[in-house]
Amino acid sequence: MSKILILGMSPLPFENDIKVYGTGIRSWQFILPLLKRGHELCVCNYAIPSAYPDDFSSRFSKDFYYTSRIDETSSNLNYSFEYNILKKDDFENTRLIAEIYYRFKPDCIIGCNFYPSFIASNLLTLVSSNIKSRTSGYDSGTNTNEDISSENITKITPFWADLFGHVMAEAQARAASDGDDSCLFHYWNSEYNIISNADIFSCVSSRQKYALIGELGAAGRLNRHTSRYDFAHIIPCGMPEEEYRHTKVVIREKDGITRDDLVVLWTGGYNTWADVDTLFKGLSLAMEQNERIKFVSTGGEIPEQDTATYPNFLSMIEKSPYRDRFIMKGWIPGEDVPNYYLEADIGINIDKDIYEVKLGSKNRILDWMRAGLCVLSSNVCELTEIITSKKIGYTFIPGDPYDLSKKLTYLASHRQEVKETALAGKKYGVCKFNFDKTTMALQKWAKNPEFSPDKGKERKIFFSREEAIRNLNQIVLRQKRMIAERDRRISELEGIVKKGLIYRIYNYFKIFKRKISK
């Protein structure tokens, strides 16, 4: 078995936090199958700020225990692993991560999600720099720890990068939302760093896989060394084995909702891809025709990504004659969410018809399928195409509130069909999207991790661009130093102009001392 360093995102879905994001579910999708196969794991996860208290401090645990119970009839399964949950400053502190790397001595690294894969890429760049400086006898000044002994400077390990969604499509959606393209370079610089360094990749769909292959070609990775090498593997969003349990009533006979109402449920964040205009209009048209249709929402805005979509939706609801039939719960404790799944009739997902959605997938849809909740979604991504073709849910035309309204009124009058379709969706999901099945390629690689065939080989494409990107961090660092120097001099001059005689003499002395020292 292998020793594996995983960089991912928290909270993981079994943690009782108010907010559980798809990135945390994705991390657990990678972690659990590897634990089940006996690999030794060291997990370093980024703590998504809005899911933790304001006074949260990084947590380091070398002996973390997780107990799994699939259903009421099965016995408990216990797993242990090292689990470090890190605040942003610590997660981005490559020297701190490198110290963990040197101590743990992994056989491979897995970056789960885009941001952790970027940090893993930076880690390997630093480790490579340390190896070169030690083997050449030259100290570059970038060592993580001056006391690191030569025997701890191990070779670079193979690196699997999981790109959970196509980041440049996300960048496009962000730019459109902000009305500003300046974010594009940041996203591409980070993406380029990953695709230039990783040995193998995973994507959420076949569509994203081919988009990634195009990027690899632009980065010079499709070369003579990698001919016939399979760079990219599809790991769709996954479904854990554990059954949801109903623990308390949360919808029925509450907030004006009866047992006979058709409850249309939204769960999770309202991101840039959420088409709340079509959602509101489609629901309003359906509510006009059928007074039994009620909308319940858990979740809300995502401070790290989108703070506009959810408030805009709330403002539309406030002006609606049907506002009492929109029950907006906001973010709720994670342990309560399954109760909403199990009491609702339909889970609704609505996306804009944009590349971010077309190339991606939807964790929340699989959560509903796992609970036996019928799915209704705009038909944009690969997963909704499967739902349509397999008849395990319902879809409507993206951006068309009239088609959405038509589907809602149909489902409201065909309740038995809704239940049967939901059961078919659950059966299909458990079979095709369970964690073990979706991660088979990862499990095979982790058992015997290998470098890509072009590792350490010269890449004869865009040398000037590669050099520019490698130098980017140094350029930014020099600019920061120049700004700091400018601010210091301004402060000194202000001390001369605005202060009294003693302060003026003091600042003159500081300037004189600085010039003498040069």
For residues 297 and 209, state if they share a domain. Answer: no
Whether residue 492 is contained in a domain is answered as yes
For residues 283 and 370, state if they share a domain. Answer: yes
pLDDT at position 306 is 76
CATH number at residue 340: 3.40.50.2000
Bridge partners (DSSP) listed for residue 330: 298
- Sheet strands side by side (includes 293-298): 326-330, 293-298, 262-267, 346-349, 374-378, 394-396
pLDDT at position 324 is 96
Report which of 326, 342, 362, 141 is spatially closest to residue 246, judged by C-alpha positions. Answer: 342
Give the whole-angstrom CA distance, residue 173 versus residue 299.
21
pLDDT at position 75 is 65
Sign of CA pseudo-dihedral 119, 124, 128, 133: positive
Under 8 Å between Cβ of 300 and 310 = yes
Which own/partner pairs from 130-137 qualify as long-range (CB within 8 Å, at least 24 positions apart)?
130/98, 131/155, 131/156
For residues 385 and 486, state if they share a domain. Answer: no
Residue 119: both structure tokens together: 């940090």
SS3 call for 448 = coil
For residues 214 and 315, state if they share a domain. Answer: no
Give me the DSSP letters along 325-393.
GEEEEES--GGGHHHHHHH-SEEEE-B-SSHHHHT---HHHHHHHHHTPEEEEES-SHHHHHHHHHTSS
Number of H helices and E strands in the chain, helices first, is 19, 14
- Say whether pLDDT at 348 is over 90: yes
The runs of H, that is alpha helices, within 372-462 are: 382-390, 401-412, 415-432, 435-438, 440-447
For residues 235 and 271, state if they share a domain. Answer: no
For residues 208 and 76, state if they share a domain. Answer: yes
Tokens 């190896």, residue located = 131
pLDDT at position 408 is 97
pTM of the model: 0.81
Confidence of residue 499 (pLDDT cuts 50, 70, 90): low
Q: How many domains is the chain partitioned into structurally?
A: 3
Whether residue 296 is contained in a domain is answered as yes
Domain of residue 410, residue span: 262-433
Whether residue 396 is contained in a domain is answered as yes
Whether residue 175 is contained in a domain is answered as yes
pLDDT at position 219 is 92
Confidence of residue 307 (pLDDT cuts 50, 70, 90): confident
For residues 443 and 424, state if they share a domain. Answer: no
Q: In which region does residue 26 sit, left (phi positive, over 0), alpha (psi from -120 to 50) or beta (all else)? A: alpha
Under 8 Å between Cβ of 294 and 257 = yes
Under 8 Å between Cβ of 414 and 364 = no
pLDDT in tens, 444-469: 999 999 999 999 888 777 556 556 66
Sign of CA pseudo-dihedral 168, 172, 177, 183: positive
Give the whole-angstrom CA distance, residue 172 versus residue 358.
13
For residues 512 and 366, state if they share a domain. Answer: no
pLDDT in tens, 157-211: 999 999 999 999 999 988 988 889 999 999 999 999 999 999 999 999 999 999 9
Give the whole-angstrom CA distance, residue 143 versus residue 423.
56
The runs of H, that is alpha helices, within 198-275 are: 206-218
Sign of CA pseudo-dihedral 373, 331, 92, 118: positive
Under 8 Å between Cβ of 86 and 44 = yes
- Say whether pLDDT at 150 is over 60: no
Whether residue 196 is contained in a domain is answered as yes
pLDDT in tens, 108-144: 999 999 999 999 999 999 988 877 666 555 444 444 4
Give me the DSSP letters along 107-156.
SEEEE-SHHHHHHHHHHHHHHHHHHHHHHTT---S--S-TT--GGG-PPP
For residues 424 and 508, state if they share a domain. Answer: no
Confidence of residue 73 (pLDDT cuts 50, 70, 90): low
For residues 182 and 45, state if they share a domain. Answer: yes
Higher pLDDT among residues 481 and 275, named by residue: 275
- Sheet strands side by side (includes 3-10): 59-68, 77-86, 40-47, 3-10, 108-111, 159-162, 200-203, 232-234
> Using N-to-C axis directions, what is the helix angle for 363-371 and 415-432, rounded to 10°?
110
Whether residue 302 is contained in a domain is answered as yes
Residue 229: both structure tokens together: 């090498």
Q: What is the DSSP letter of 243?
A: P
Bridge partners (DSSP) listed for residue 346: 264, 374
Q: Which of 410, 433, 456 is the last residue of a domain?
A: 433
Whether residue 139 is contained in a domain is answered as yes
pLDDT at position 69 is 67
Find the angle CA(398)-CA(404)-CA(407) to the nearest 5 degrees: 130
Least confident of 158-167, 234-243, 282-291, 394-403: 234-243
Whether residue 156 is contained in a domain is answered as yes
Bridge partners (DSSP) listed for residue 157: none
